[in-house]
Chain A
């Protein structure tokens, strides 16, 4: 797990709206254009709600999307 890319919230302390418990860093598989890989993201340990921070969406995630679109 230590080798997986990990992304934390941009700032703040986060609670799941549904379960009212703190989000925890956890492994999530993500998918795009027939590719899948695991990342560590803040997520609710109970319901699985997962937060994609803005910096990730507009940074690394966008970069990987473009790369996969060229494959």
Chain B
């Protein structure tokens, strides 16, 4: 169960929500990205609204801020930091305020602010905006006091006066020389007191004596706004620092007044927002043509250009590379929350089921993510939990699990030659995997024969064959128990053969065996082949093969350096040239077969394969037959490594792989061939109307389902007749699916015009007596 703690751990791993460096470095947490977005599209009023929302005394700050944001800007190394300071100034210079403050009832806690430095005025600004009654105690004219520290405001007196006018609408000013005794009295009369250290250095303690996280000095009195000291011993006023301290102190005063903890939950903790700058092109910072009051003034067009240089820092590195992560319009942090909510929902719809079952579990995201966020881990855990609670939608994986069952059935499962008592045990057990056996039986046998001959006489002689499924579909479906059952069966086989090294030709099998049977010796067959002498491999090619390929690593082998190296080495030894795509080896992309997405969400699987194809120029070399067949199904020429090793048995790179029904048949056929038996091709008496085969595959209706349905429909008269075209339509429900077949009887058998299926149980459709079904279902539900 994804509990609150693990959810938080997952959420903390994804930094997409974290603010960019510019915002972190701004003491007012200015939303620089949003400000620049508006500036870049000429929405000056909206940009101004953002400044007014975040900045205290916005005109003054826009003029004199020392802009720490720019020092942290990631654009800095690519043409110079974004001129945020100039842009803020230009925005305010070219717009007028439209700010409408909502009337808020005054709060009961009275606040006193002593001094007229930037820290004091910021504290007064913030507190008055939150409707605290604020009294500002000054000893002279506010503007003059401020000008003492910031003489460059003199030129822009109009702006200075404008901010002060807004401030003084809500703040009472009292002329008073505040002494130490007076400060004590103020602390008694007011709920919070602020003292500006820049205008009252004699009253203020040393900066080091005050807690820098709260600026609380003593007895409800906050102090902040000290002038800074240069290395040469000069004092100077740093606006962002002083005003930032004022803002923090104001927050403390509220907490003092409300008798709240001064430190708890004060600052939200964020991870470091990762931004990939590897593709960023250099664009030089735009220097404006005009200045005003010593500050650069951009024209609207210049401002638009300069703001457009903003990188709009964000991570999304996983999302940009994965169509599945793009599909749900969020990012892993959001998805983790949705998946958690899905598991904890009591009433209502489990709307994240599709999110959970749409992941290919390929784990590319965790390799791309600087924090290694794994959607695969999250989705697999969620699937296992759904299965345990009985909430997994039956339609998601049932068909794939039936396919696994067929590969494990007596019709397809084979260990050969049988272990002989007394004979020396084989050194190797070749495990080609159920999909390679289903589509490349001829090549599997040829490779087996070549290996057997190559190894004979060596100290590594002895090779046996196991045609079976590794159980990975059960693992992907979240069926942990079923997965373990498959693995236990394989362990038995391994023990029967005297514990040989297992050689897999499928990356998913390799991953499943390594995870589920970690104590068994397992390696890829490609590594063994690569270690052998290759000169006696057949040279004559059945088809002309290309000389250059884009190499595509299967996602299940992303961590398997041995696999990746062997494929490259073999291709090179055989005289081929390989091109590495952008996402390769550890960061390779999934073809859409992984995680049973092909079964649960074919449309998501198709977008994954289409995205991968777009990354691969020319013909592709795959080392997983499912990748190969999925590429070719989308008209991308793709060859399997076996086509290079055994060119006399090559399958053309454009020839589509077998369909779902044909795969099952070919698995059985391979077993029969090894045992010297023949099996009748299925459905000789059943003809399909043109184009029907593909439609049936899409609906996961197999030819064997149709054959069985027809047998039962005819034998039990489970059909009705359409008098207008003389077609019969009948239904058979062999398991939790009802199959409908529309057909005509022909001289040799049947012509199938159409077929469809549904999971819903409809009494009177599927073979069982309608009344019996109704009685059973109604009694089981009551």
Chain A positions within 8 Å of B, measured between CB atoms, are: 9, 11-18, 23, 28-34, 36, 41, 43-44, 47-52, 54, 57-58, 61-62, 64-67, 69-71
> With contacts A17-B721, A44-B720, A49-B718 known, is A29 near B774, CB below 8 A?
yes
Contact yes or no, A36 B781, CB < 8 A: yes
The 9 closest A-B pairs by CB, nearest first: A48-B770, A50-B764, A69-B393, A12-B722, A17-B719, A12-B724, A48-B764, A31-B761, A13-B723
Residues of A within 8 A of B725 (CB): 12
A14, A17, A67 pick with most chain B CB within 10 angstroms: A17
Can you name 25 A-B residue pairings with CB atoms under 8 Å? A17-B728, A17-B730, A23-B720, A28-B763, A28-B764, A29-B774, A29-B778, A30-B763, A31-B781, A32-B760, A36-B778, A36-B781, A48-B770, A48-B771, A49-B765, A49-B770, A50-B765, A52-B731, A52-B758, A54-B756, A57-B758, A65-B759, A69-B395, A70-B353, A70-B393
Chain B positions within 8 Å of A, measured between CB atoms, are: 349-351, 353, 393-396, 717-725, 727-731, 738, 740, 742, 754, 756-765, 769-771, 774, 777-778, 781
CB < 8 Å: which of B395, B717, B727, B762 contacts A30?
B762
- B732 CB to closest chain A CB (Å) equals 12
Chain A residue at minimal CB-CB distance from B754: A54
CB < 8 Å: which of B754, B770, B781 contacts A34?
B781
Residues of B within 8 A of A61 (CB): 758, 760
A11, A18, A51 pick with most chain B CB within 10 angstroms: A51
> With contacts A17-B730, A23-B720 known, is A32 near B759, CB below 8 A?
yes
Contact yes or no, A54 B771, CB < 8 A: no
Query: A65 vs B736: C-alpha distance in the bound complex, in angstroms?
Result: 12
Q: Is the interface of A mostly helix, strand, loop or mixed?
A: mixed
> With contacts A49-B718, A70-B349 known, is A15 near B731, CB below 8 A?
no
Query: A9 vs B395: C-alpha distance in the bound complex, in angstroms?
Result: 25
Chain A residue at minimal CB-CB distance from B353: A70
Residues of B within 8 A of A65 (CB): 395, 758-760
> With contacts A12-B723, A14-B720, A70-B351 known, is A57 near B756, CB below 8 A?
yes
CB < 8 Å: which of A31, A48, A58, A71 contacts B760?
A31
Contact yes or no, B723 A15, CB < 8 A: yes
Residues of A within 8 A of B353 (CB): 69-70
Contact yes or no, B350 A71, CB < 8 A: yes
CB < 8 Å: which of B724, B740, B774, B781 contacts A52?
B740
- A66 CB to closest chain B CB (Å) equals 7
Residues of B within 8 A of A67 (CB): 349
- A21 CB to closest chain B CB (Å) equals 10
Residues of A within 8 A of B742 (CB): 54
Contact yes or no, A57 B770, CB < 8 A: no
- A35 CB to closest chain B CB (Å) equals 8
- B344 CB to closest chain A CB (Å) equals 15
